[in-house]
Amino acid sequence: MKAQNTTEIASLGEFGLIDRLTSRLGRRNDNTLMAAGDDAAVIDLGDEVMLLTTDMMTEGIDFDLSYFPLKHLGYKAIVRGVNDILAMNAKPQQVVVALGVSAKISVEALDELYEGMEHAAKELGVDIVGGDTTASMNGLVITISATGRAKKSEVAYRSGAKEHDLICITSNLGAAYMGLHLLEREKRVLKDIANPEPKFAGHEYLLERYLKPRARINIIDALKEEGIQPTAMIDLSDGLASDLRQICRSSKCGARIYLERIPIARQTTELAEEMHIDPVIAALNGGEDHELLFTVPLDKQESIMRLGLVDVIGHITREEAGVVLVTPDGEGIALKAQAFDR
């Protein structure tokens, strides 16, 4: 029998794989306004829509229990889940939790995990309404499914960015990436030490950004109060370069962002230099920031600046101009992203 040719997943890249798997999926219900291709599915309810999303975290890939406190892990799992709802300019309402639990996880450990989940749910005003639990042979697996609602006219898709729109982000970038690198470094250094004492002093901010990110629900409220309707929006989880290119691909546009306008915290720069990492690379490609990246019309510039809650880092251009990072000396560099560039 002739051997069947197979394709390695790595050759497609993350987004290439998603495109391949979802391209064959049809729609059989008229009220499915958006299926795959955005941060959440959109279901028509008349004047309003319901948003649906799901997010999976796997031990050994997305988190390491040797240094990740279970309360923080539970908190972060909820934030990751509801952030996809926020990234549609909507308010999250309910969450369903599914767990794959290995034999090494105790009941008390699960109590801690759920304590963190409920803490996040309370902060965000969402209800944990159920879920499922099963055995796992390969460590802890957490799946969060979230729902939300919004007026149909207020939903922000990735595909709505227009030429001259301003590109905005909700906080500094790269801190979570450096927090992860710090944890990994201390794990390696202290691996064979009987009573390890990790050196975290002065880096508490970076650790919090990775272990306990904050959902920017306040930004959604502030935009509504100011009368600003984002034209496009995405959850910044894969890194600025990758997520901006997602918006540009969906909106069929280009973008120019300016290096000196990308906010990078002092702590991020200091640790990056200590570890011989370019802080700009951490900001562009690190991921795990869980901030919001969005675009607004140019005529909303005064309103968006008045908010004082976001940074304007560039603007949308024509598609043929590409996605470009402009250095302080004016040089334009094509923005690369690992999930795209194969």
pLDDT tens digits, residue range 59-111?
999 999 999 999 999 999 999 999 999 999 999 999 999 999 999 999 999 99
Backbone angles phi, psi at 163, to 5 degrees: -55, 140
Does 198 share its domain with 49?
A: no
Residues 175 and 71 in one domain: no
Counting beta carbons within 10 angstroms of the beta carbon of residue 48, is it exposed (0 to 12), middle (13 to 18) or buried (19 or more)?
A: middle
Quote the distance between the C-alpha of residue 74 and its chain's center: 16
125 within a domain of the structure (yes/no): yes
Q: Which tokens belong to 211?
A: 């272990």
**Mean per-residue pLDDT for 256-264?**
97
> Looking at the domain assignment, is residue 340 inside a domain?
no
Residue 138 is classified by DSSP as S
- Domain hosting 319: range is 158-334
Q: How does 200-220 read in b/e, with b if 16+ C-beta sit within 10 Å?
A: eeebeebbebbbbbbbbbebb
In a domain, 52, yes or no: yes
Nearest CA-CA partner of 234 in 73, 96, 53: 53
Question: Is residue 262 a part of any domain in this protein?
Answer: yes
Residue 81 lies in a domain: yes
Q: pLDDT value at position 341?
A: 52
Q: pLDDT digits over 123-164, tens only?
A: 999 999 999 999 999 899 999 999 999 999 999 999 999 999
| DSSP-based helix, strand, coil % in the chain, nearest 5 | 40, 25, 35
CA distance 176 to 11: 27
Domain match, 165 and 28 both: no
Q: How many CA atoms lie within 13 A of 329 on its CB side?
A: 2
Residue 1 lies inside a defined structural domain of this protein: no
Q: Does residue 197 sit in the same domain as residue 213?
A: yes
* 196 compared with 202, residue with greater pLDDT: 202
Rg (CA), the chain: 21
As a whole-number percent, the residues of the chain with pLDDT over 90 amount to 80
Residues 121 and 144 in one domain: yes
Q: What is the CATH number of the domain that holds 36?
A: 3.30.1330.10
| Total number of domains constituting the chain | 2
Calculate the alpha carbon distances from 335 to 13, 92, 146, 256 in Å: 16, 32, 32, 9
Edge-to-edge strands of the sheet including 48-58? 32-34, 41-44, 48-58, 141-151, 91-101, 127-135
What pLDDT, on a 0 to 100 scale, did the predictor assign at position 149? 96
Do 183 and 137 fall into the same domain?
no
Q: What is the mean pLDDT of residues 278-307?
A: 95
Residue 311 lies in a domain: yes
CA 14 from chain centre, in angstroms, equals: 14
pLDDT at 342 over 60: no
Q: Are residues 79 and 203 in the same domain?
A: no
Q: Name the band, by pLDDT with cuts 50, 70 and 90, for residue 189.
A: confident
Picking from 99, 134, 154, the residue at the C-terminal end of a domain is 154
CA distance 159 to 329: 31
Residues 149 and 298 in one domain: no
Are residues 164 and 88 part of one domain?
no
Do 229 and 319 belong together in one domain?
yes
Domain of 330: which CATH number? Answer: 3.90.650.10
For the stretch 10-49, pLDDT in tens is: 777 777 777 788 777 777 888 888 888 788 999 999 989 9
Scan for tokens 């979570």, then name that residue.
176
Q: Are residues 87 and 189 in the same domain?
A: no
Among 93, 127, 154, the domain boundary falls at 154
Last residue of some domain: 97, 126, 154?
A: 154
**Do 98 and 219 have their domain in common?**
no
Q: Which residue has the tokens 């799946």?
A: 143
Q: Rounded to two decimals, what is the model's pTM?
A: 0.92
User: Looking at the domain assignment, is residue 341 inside a domain?
Assistant: no
